[in-house]
């Protein structure tokens, strides 16, 4: 997943805008007796949600962020994946249990959950949602998540049962994926009509907030839903999403107090947010990690000595400090260090140009004609490094990598590309190296990225990495139910991947959220910025 | 006359068809499609092929083209991949916003440009002519985003006269009168940006044409007959000098429907520019096609209108 930052048109003129907008005011240090009802929070969003129905195609992550507030999920995934696979807290389901053989999950729904039209949320809605998710005519992007769930049965209006075809560690997570939608309203529309239906006209929701007004690509106003089951929450009267595609406008309005929350502050602006007494900068360790992906099929990059040499020759620490202004951490392996599955004993690859030179020599990539550039089979060893042109951080990183590798006699040609075109070249295997990023899911699985690609199942392993031992370990980790054993398999696989250096691991991302200090009670964590939005309140 | 009109209409349809067809093949043959960019840990790799089938991207190109063409002939532009609803509805939301901004912007551009041009020819090569020449050339040369950022900084933050973004305030006002005031207030900065960046061209064209006209003998004749200078310029020279402006305006017509991406992004104006940009980045072929047809049609119609206006302004062409 590429972290796109497409609206940087006026980036150079950010300062022009910001100079005038920073009004200094007294910090609202009013710490009252606790939560107060009322008020609103204004959130800047780079793009609007494209549909209120997530099941008719592919939906972006900002869309999920909003749908979380409007449609209930059975359970809430907790941000505790540092210690173990994420646990779950009750939500629409107040309790759940697995059968003896672990093949049946019974969920008990709360009886006071209501749709915004007053009708109760029932087991029928859950079963209807499952039918929608599995329907191949609709093209929900998450359909494969439900592969091992065979059936969802209504036992009573408040009891629903999931039947699985196999036992595995992520059964609860897979049952929970996707929001519950209203059967009594959306069920009236035949499924084949769904792709042509405007669901903004069928907005029966059930969450802490409901849609008050929506001007597409402008403003989405959510108002407190008096039917919400967890009274007296939510405390806020309104949450207003303002669509601001330009990041400098987002920041200018944050500084001017017109916006209370910016989801992604660019690293170079972090200091000014921090200095503003009215604002707070929240750093969330994300599961995004950046890398240089080498084409493991193309000689001499198919030689792991060469890939290791390139990793040793890049001053990764300096790169992370320079490009991300310190708001990122050095990445070391395929699983972010913030996750339970990370192998804490992985060796850290140093910056060592000398060793890199020796490795390149040993691999037969030598400078024979003394022009300062090494040759491979008589031709200069030149690497074309692709990166998405709209992302200025990638452009900076590409230039630094070019400079570092030039020092060991490897010529790099940074090539900015349109994102989809770059992905197409990656998919076709027609590249030397790409500068990109990936976000690890909370459901840790090395299969899609690191297992030898098979033509039947599809793969994200575009770089063509292949190590039979890693394939085997990933399969074992997937099949095993005992977490301690899973961890052992994953630890070993990480060691092998780091030895092979199919990619050069660069950084682990930190999401920077700028938030007004008048907002209280916010628990902003890696699960979601709006993790506990019903508990937020504002002080005057 | 009717024959000429029919021939011209057919030729116009042919142009629209040719452009739309070329776009269809260019976009379809460009590397990657909607599914290519779906590299997301939440999505199984197998889902990419499934989604390709879902959107019909696995069918042969010729079949896809015929299906699309027959749809368009019947007035159905299909469903947008990105917005997951009929393309018609997506455009119906964005088009009025762009029309509003572009119409007001173009009017400002025209008024400012004509006023500048007229002031300049009062004393050619005098102080005001040179000063305004410098101004209009600078306005013409400055990148739009710089003008926009400057205006936002000055008039939304330094002296907060206007809102920095959007078409409305946080909450839509209740009565129609306040709604109109609110809309105009929000329209001010983006429309001024359109007007400022475009008025330079209008002023330059008009100044040149007016100077040419003033060298003509009929102007000398009018002055000799005792007509006042301003009457000579406004009544005699201006209509003749306005011909290049008609061409300029005819060429601006597509802007009414295409929108201006930079201005729309900076001011969060939800118009066609943003829709088209997001359609292109998402490889949303039905939406790209619909916008292309609309803009091509506007080019054709713009040329038509310019021709008609020429005929009205210049009796020689009518014959």
What is the full DSSP assignment across B173-240? -SSHHHHHHHHHHHHHHHHHHHHHHHHHHHHHHHHHHHHHHHTSHHHHHHHHTT--HHHIIIIIIHHH
Asked whether the beta carbons of residue B265 and residue A17 sit closer than 8 angstroms, the reply is no
Closest CA to A314 of A385, A239, A246: A385
CB atoms B168 and A218 under 8 Å: yes
Q: What is the DSSP string of A274-335?
A: HH-TTEEEEEEEEEEEEEEEE-TTSTTTTSHHHHHHHHHHS-HHHHHHHHHTT-EEE--SSS
- Chain B residue numbers touching A243 (CB-CB < 8 A): 268, 270
The residues near A152 (Cβ < 8 Å, ≥ 6 apart) are A126, A127, A130, A160, A161, A162, A163
- Cα→Cα distances A531→A232, A523, B15, Å: 17, 7, 53
Q: Which residues of A touch B30 (CB under 8 A)?
A: 421
Find, among B52, B85, B80, B285, the residue nearest to A141 by Cα: B52
**H or E segment at A419?**
helix A419-427
- Residue A425 tokens read as 């070249």
| CA-based nearest distance A279→chain B, Å | 18
Residues in chain B with CB shorter than 8 Å from the CB of A438 are 39, 41
Mean pLDDT, chain B, rounded, equals: 87
CB contact under 8 Å between B266 and A246, yes or no, is yes
Rg of chain A over Cα atoms, rounded to whole angstroms, equals 25
pLDDT of residue A13: 40
Per-residue pLDDT reduced to its tens digit, A238-258: 999 999 999 999 999 999 999
- ipTM passes above 0.90: no
CA distance B133 to A285: 54
**Residues on chain B touching A201 (C-beta within 8 angstroms):** none
Question: Is B268 in contact with A215 (Cβ distance < 8 A)?
Answer: no
Identify the pLDDT of residue A21: 40
Cα A470 to Cα A414, A496, A499, distances in angstroms: 31, 7, 12
The minimum CA-CA distance between B179 and chain A, rounded to whole Å, is 14
Residue A33 pLDDT grade (very low, low, confident, very high; cuts 50, 70, 90): low
Query: Among all residues of chain B, which has the CA nearest to that of A143?
Result: B47
Mean pLDDT of the region A86-112: 95
Q: What's the pLDDT band for A310 if we cut at 50, 70, 90?
A: very high
Cβ distance A442 to A85 under 8 Å? yes
Digit-coded pLDDT (tens) for A196-231: 888 999 999 999 999 999 988 899 999 999 989 998
Per-residue pLDDT, A20: 38
Question: Do the Cβ atoms of B42 and A143 come within 8 Å?
Answer: no
Inter-chain residue contact B47 with A13, CB threshold 8 Å: no
Closest chain B residue by Cα to residue A59: B82
Distance in angstroms (rounded) separating the CA atoms of residues A442 and A170: 10
The distance of B118 to chain A (nearest Cα, Å) reads: 34
Q: Which H/E stretch holds residue A375?
A: strand A375-376
Determine whether the interchain pair A242/B170 forms a contact, defined as Cβ–Cβ distance below 8 Å.
Answer: yes
The reported pLDDT for the residue numbered A314 is 97
CA–CA dist B208, A84 (Å, integer):
76
Position A492 scores a pLDDT of: 96
Q: What angle do CA B192, B194, B197 make, to 5 degrees?
A: 100
pTM: 0.88
Give A7's pLDDT tier (boundaries 50, 70, 90). very low
Of B43, B46, B158, the CB nearest to A20: B158
Is A73 part of the contact surface with chain B (CB cutoff 8 Å)? Answer: no
> For residue A288, what pLDDT is reported?
93
Q: What is the pLDDT of residue B319?
A: 57
DSSP symbol at B154 = I
Residue A408 to residue A269: CA distance in whole angstroms: 34
CA A28, A31, A32, A35 torsion-angle sign = positive
Portion of chain A with pLDDT greater than 70, in percent:
94
pLDDT digits (tens, 9 = 90+) for B194-234: 999 888 888 988 998 888 888 888 888 888 888 888 888 88
Nearest chain A CA: its distance from B85 CA (Å): 5
- Has residue B74 got a pLDDT over 60? yes
Distance from C-alpha of B217 to C-alpha of B225, rounded to nearest angstrom = 12
Spatial separation of the C-alpha atoms in residues B151 and B267, rounded to whole Å? 11
Please give the radius of gyration of chain B, using alpha carbons only, rounded to the nearest integer.
Answer: 24
Residue numbers in A near B171 (CB within 8 A): 213, 221
Residue predicted with more confidence, A13 or B148: B148
What is residue A210's predicted lDDT score, i.e. its pLDDT? 95
| pLDDT tens-digit series, residues B81-137 | 888 889 999 999 999 999 999 999 999 999 999 999 989 988 888 899 999 999 888
Q: Do B47 and A457 touch (CB under 8 A)?
A: no
Confirm or reject contact between A58 and chain B (CB < 8 A).
yes
Chain B contacts in chain A segment 298-327 (CB below 8 A): none
Residue A253 sits at the chain B interface (C-beta within 8 Å)? yes
* Token pair belonging to A261: 């929350």
Q: What is the DSSP letter of A156?
A: E
- Residue listed under structure tokens 């609709």: A138
């Amino acid at each position: 997943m590429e972290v796109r930052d497409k609206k940087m048109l006026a980036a150079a003129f950010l300062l022009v805008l910001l100079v005038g907008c920073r009004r200094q005011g007294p910090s609202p240090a009013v710490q009252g007796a606790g939560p107060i009802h009322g008020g609103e929070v204004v959130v800047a969003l780079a793009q609007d949600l494209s549909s209120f129905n997530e099941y008719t195609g592919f939906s972006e992550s900002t869309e999920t962020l909003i749908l979380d507030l409007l449609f209930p999920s059975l359970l809430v995934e907790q941000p505790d994946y540092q210690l173990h696979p994420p646990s779950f807290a009750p939500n629409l389901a107040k309790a759940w249990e697995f059968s003896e053989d672990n093949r049946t999950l019974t969920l008990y729904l709360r009886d006071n959950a209501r749709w915004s039209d007053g009708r109760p949320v029932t087991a029928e809605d859950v079963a209807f949602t499952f039918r929608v998710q599995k329907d191949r005519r609709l093209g929900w992007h998450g359909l494969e998540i439900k592969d091992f769930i065979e059936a969802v049965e209504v036992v009573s209006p408040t009891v629903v049962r999931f039947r699985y075809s196999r036992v595995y560690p992520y059964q609860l997570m897979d049952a929970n994926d996707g929001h519950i939608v209203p059967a009594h309203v959306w069920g009236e529309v035949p499924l084949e009509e769904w792709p042509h239906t405007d669901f903004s006209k069928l907005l029966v929701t059930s969450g802490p907030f409901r849609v008050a007004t929506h001007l597409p690509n402008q403003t989405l106003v959510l108002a407190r839903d008096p039917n919400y089951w967890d009274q007296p929450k939510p405390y806020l009267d309104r949450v207003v999403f303002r669509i601001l595609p330009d990041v400098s406008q987002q920041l200018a309005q944050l500084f001017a107090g017109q916006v209370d929350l910016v989801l992604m502050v660019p690293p170079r602006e972090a200091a000014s947010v921090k200095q503003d007494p009215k604002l707070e900068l929240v750093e969330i360790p994300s599961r995004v990690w950046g890398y240089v992906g080498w084409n493991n099929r193309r000689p001499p990059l198919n030689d792991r000595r060469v890939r290791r040499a390139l990793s040793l020759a890049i001053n990764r620490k300096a790169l992370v400090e320079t490009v991300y202004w310190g708001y990122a951490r050095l990445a070391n392996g395929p699983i972010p260090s913030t996750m339970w599955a990370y192998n804490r004993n992985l060796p850290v690859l140093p910056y060592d140009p000398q060793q890199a030179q020796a490795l390149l020599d040993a691999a037969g990539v030598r400078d024979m004609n003394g022009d300062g550039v090494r040759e491979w089979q008589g031709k200069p060893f030149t690497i074309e490094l692709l990166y998405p042109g709209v992302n200025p951080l990638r452009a900076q990183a590409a230039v630094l990598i070019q400079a570092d590798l030039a020092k060991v006699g490897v010529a790099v040609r940074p090539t900015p590309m349109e994102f989809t075109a770059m992905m197409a070249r990656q998919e076709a295997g027609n590249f030397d190296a790409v500068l990109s990023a990936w976000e690890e899911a909370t459901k840790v699985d090395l299969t899609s990225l690191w297992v030898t690609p098979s033509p039947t199942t599809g793969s994200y392993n575009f770089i063509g990495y292949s190590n039979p031992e890693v394939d085997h370990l990933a399969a074992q980790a997937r099949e095993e139910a005992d977490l301690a054993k899973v961890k052992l398999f994953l630890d070993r696989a990480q060691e092998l991947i780091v030895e092979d250096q199919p990619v050069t691991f660069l950084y682990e991302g930190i999401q920077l959220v700028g938030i007004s200090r008048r907002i209280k009670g916010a628990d902003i964590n890696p699960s979601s910025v709006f993790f506990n939005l019903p508990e937020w309140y504002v002080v005057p | 006359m009717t024959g000429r009109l029919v021939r011209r209409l057919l030729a116009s349809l042919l142009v629209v068809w040719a452009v739309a067809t070329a776009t269809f093949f260019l976009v379809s043959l460009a590397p990657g499609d909607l599914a290519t960019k779906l590299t997301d840990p939440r999505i199984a790799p197998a889902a990419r092929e499934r989604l390709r089938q879902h959107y019909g991207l696995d069918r042969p190109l010729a079949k896809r083209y015929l299906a699309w063409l027959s749809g368009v002939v019947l007035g159905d532009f299909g469903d947008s991949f990105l917005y997951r609803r009929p393309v018609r509805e997506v455009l119906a939301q964005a088009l009025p916003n762009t029309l509003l901004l572009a119409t007001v912007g173009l009017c400002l551009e025209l008024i400012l440009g004509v006023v500048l041009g007229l002031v300049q020819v009062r004393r050619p090569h005098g102080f005001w002519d040179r000063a305004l020449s410098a101004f209009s050339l600078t306005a013409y040369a400055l990148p739009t985003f710089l003008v926009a950022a400057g205006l936002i900084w000055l008039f939304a933050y330094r002296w907060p006269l206007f809102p920095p973004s959007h078409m409305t305030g946080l909450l839509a006002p209740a009565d129609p009168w306040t709604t109109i005031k609110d809309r105009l207030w929000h329209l001010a900065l983006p429309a001024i940006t359109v007007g400022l960046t475009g008025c330079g061209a209008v002023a330059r064209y008009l100044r040149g044409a007016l100077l040419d006209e003033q060298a003509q003998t009929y102007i000398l004749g009018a002055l000799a007959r005792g007509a006042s200078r301003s009457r000579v310029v406004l009544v005699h020279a201006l209509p003749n000098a306005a011909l290049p402006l008609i061409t300029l305006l005819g060429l601006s017509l597509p802007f009414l429907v295409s929108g201006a991406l930079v201005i729309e992004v900076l001011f969060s104006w939800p118009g066609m520019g943003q829709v088209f940009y997001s359609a292109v980045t998402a490889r949303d072929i039905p939406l790209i096609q619909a916008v292309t047809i609309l803009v091509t049609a506007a080019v054709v119609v713009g040329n038509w209108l310019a021709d008609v206006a020429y005929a009205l302004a210049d009796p020689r062409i009518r014959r």
